[in-house]
Amino acid sequence: MRFLLLRPEKIVLSDSEDNADDYDPGARRLFAEEWGISPDSLHLKAALTHSSAAPNVTESGERLEFLGDALLSAYVARYLISHLPVTVGEDTLSRARVQVVRKETLAVAGRELGISRMIAIGPGERKEGRHKNDSLLADAYEALLAVICLECGDSALSVFIDATLGFALSAVVQNPPEPDPKTLLQMKLQATGHGLPVYETVEATGRGHEHNFVVVVRDAETTELGHGEGPNKRAAQMQAAKMALLHLNGSQTRLNENSP
């Protein structure tokens, strides 16, 4: 593939303008040529049409996103089973799959493919920068997976995923993920009889694609354990869980030090 050069940590575009924001029909044609898709494909047109620019749902990428999500999940699961040691358990496999298919990872691939220049989106949404939003890019990437499968077949889909998500697949095989802070906090609270953690968003600021969320986490007895902030709720919850773990581990250390 001419314009995709793989490196272990990311994909590099060799002859596209990564920072261009304007809709460019030529970019869509180039993509179609590179991957053997007819530029007049109705599947491709739908995949790269946001609901804000579609007369109805059948002319947007929403149904294709559904298929692409399922195809990607199955491919990543098969890849992990083939490339990780047989001693790796289901929990680690599940975390590894989530790490690859989460929207932030797919958005990286979508951004490097230049989806923001290929996708048709309402003028208001483009003005607000929605075409660069992680969720939109991830959804469009999944829709493109469905297009590749329907237009070119399973073998082409495998090539496409390896080319565009190879960096994430390689990284997760080299370093299988440990439990994230939210999972560790839940395990710790349940093990000590404090129930499930409860996350509350106490502040949300920003507009367009620039946001900041503040989240507080409490145990089942409503005792505040920590707070965190981030550009989305997930990141803020992760930070809150991390602070809660530091608080709980510090309390346990002090308790052990004061024990006779």
Axis-axis angle for helices 62-83, 154-174 (nearest 10): 50
pLDDT band at 163 (very low <50, low <70, confident <90, very high): very high
Domain boundaries, the chain: 4-174, 181-258
Asked if residues 43 and 150 have their Cβ atoms less than 8 Å apart, the reply is yes
Q: For 2, how many CA atoms within 13 A lie in the half-sphere containing its CB?
A: 9
Provide mean pLDDT across the span 199-224: 91
3-class secondary structure, 252 = helix
Asked if the domains 4-174 and 181-258 are classified in one and the same CATH topology, the answer is no
CA 64 vs CA 27, 45, 114, 221: distances in Å: 20, 11, 19, 44
pLDDT in tens, 5-35: 333 333 333 334 444 457 788 899 999 999 9
The whole-model pTM stands at 0.68
Provide mean pLDDT across the span 117-123: 86
Tokens for 87? 């001693």
Instruction: Tell me how far apart the alpha carbons of residues 181 and 238 are, in angstroms, rounded to a whole number.
Output: 6
User: Which is nearest to 62 in space by CA: 52, 77, 72?
Assistant: 52
Instruction: Tell me how far apart the alpha carbons of residues 160 and 147 are, in angstroms, rounded to a whole number.
Output: 11
So which residues are the catalytic ones? Answer: 69, 142
pLDDT in tens, 54-85: 777 678 889 999 999 999 999 999 999 999 99
Which of 1.10.3720.10, 3.90.180.10, 1.10.1520.10, 3.40.50.970 would CATH assign to domain 4-174? 1.10.1520.10
Instruction: Tell me how far apart the alpha carbons of residues 36 and 48 are, in angstroms, rounded to a whole number.
Output: 16
Fold of 181-258: Double Stranded RNA Binding Domain (3.30.160)
The pLDDT > 90 percentage for the chain reads: 63
